[in-house]
Amino acid sequence: MSSKKTSFVVAVVGATGAVGREMLRTLEERKFPVSRLVALASKRSAGQVLPFAGSEVVVAELGPKSFEGVDVALFSAGASVAREYGPVAAKSGAVVIDNSSAWRMDPEVPLVVPEVNMAAAESRPKGIIANPNCSTIQMVVALKPLHDAARVKHIVVSTYQATSGKGHAAVEDLLAQAKDVLAGKDVTPSVFPGQIAFNVLSDWKAGDMDYSEEEWKMVHETRKIMGDDAIGVSPTTVRVPVVNGHSESVHVQFHRPMSAEEAKRLLKGADGVVLMDEPYAPGKMPTPAKASGTDPVYVGRVRDDIAVKGALNLWIVADNLKKGAALNAVQIAEKLFVR
């Protein structure tokens, strides 16, 4: 998209939430040319004051006239809000970039990761672009250079997903539970369906065939982003007692054999990727603690599979609030409006 404008009116829907706040920080950090910021949220959150670009912005209540004059609308307020107000924003002339699951599998809505399929964003009949699920984003960024070289055939992925992916209240629940456990008290979950402190859970809604909704997202979204419905995806998604940063163990098979050495050459310098290719040693791997607060997708432990010749095993880590959500959305806006 070409434009003679040099600065833009940007709306952030769900500005008071964890991802909404990260969107504001990301716009500021990356110096996106914002002429005016419109912070929007529910009636309950309206009136809050948020810091932005050395100043402050007052949160307004989301409504049908919120998008007049807006160039780009970043949504992170849940699927129901996106379904209702995404078309309203688009009709007002804004390019909508939505972080919820509402539009991801709509055939008229591109599902975009800039390092993987930015060209898809040019065709958006509804004026809406979908941001993929956080766990899908980091995996496809890491697999894209390998897919280009040898075409991915089958992925087996197990995730270790942070509590921040469920929102700020989930992080508070983890911390409160941890205090109770350490104090020898019974745990009473407020957000999670069970104990998350010093434990692991699969806490997403049920989907088809005894898989969770989160697992199905990784199947369908990976195929749509990669442009290949034949890719096999075998997912297991798990929540772990980590505040921020998702990790993934990925086994991948290709249409031709690929060695770990070739994969490392392809990953070194790949767009959005930081490769940690040191030989195995205790503690020498990407971790969510080190990834949190940073932009890249970290890939380590790239190994030839012992049992399946020509297949690989990888360990992939990224900040789920940044690359897994806010950063990906802002990068799409940058590619469309700035460069």
Q: Which residue out of 134, 147, 154, 220 is catalytically annotated? A: 134
Q: How confident is the model at residue 162 (pLDDT cuts 50, 70, 90)?
A: very high
Q: Is 220 annotated in the active site?
A: no
For residues 308-328, average pLDDT: 97
For residues 228-252, average pLDDT: 98
* pLDDT at residue 339, rounded to an integer: 73
For residues 112-140, average pLDDT: 97
| Cα angle 246-327-24, degrees, rounded to a multiple of 5 | 115
Is 1 a residue whose pLDDT tops 60?
no
User: What is the C-alpha to C-alpha distance for residues 206 and 213, in angstroms, rounded to an integer?
Assistant: 6
For residues 152-156, average pLDDT: 98
- Mean pLDDT, all residues of the chain: 96
Q: Is 154 annotated in the active site?
A: no
Is 4 a residue whose pLDDT tops 90?
no
> Residue 158, SS3?
strand
User: What is the C-alpha to C-alpha distance for residues 229 and 225, in angstroms, rounded to an integer?
Assistant: 10
* pLDDT at residue 2, rounded to an integer: 45
Task: Map out the domains of the chain with their CATH numbers.
Answer: 8-131+325-337 (3.40.50.720), 136-320 (3.30.360.10)
User: Residue for token digits 């096999």?
Assistant: 232
For residues 77-98, average pLDDT: 97
> Residue 80, SS3?
helix
For residues 320-326, average pLDDT: 96
Nearest CA-CA partner of 31 in 13, 62, 59, 52: 52
Which residues are within 8 A (CB) of 247 and not within 5 positions of it... i.e. 6 or more apart? 159, 160, 161, 240, 286, 287, 288, 315, 316, 317
* pLDDT at residue 3, rounded to an integer: 52
Q: Which residue out of 147, 168, 220, 246 is catalytically annotated? A: 246
Q: Using alpha carbons only, how large is the chain's radius of gyration in Å?
A: 20
pTM: 0.94
Q: Where are the beta strands (DSSP E) in the chain?
A: 8-13, 34-41, 49-52, 55-58, 60-61, 72-75, 95-98, 128-130, 152-161, 232-239, 246-254, 273-276, 297-304, 312-318
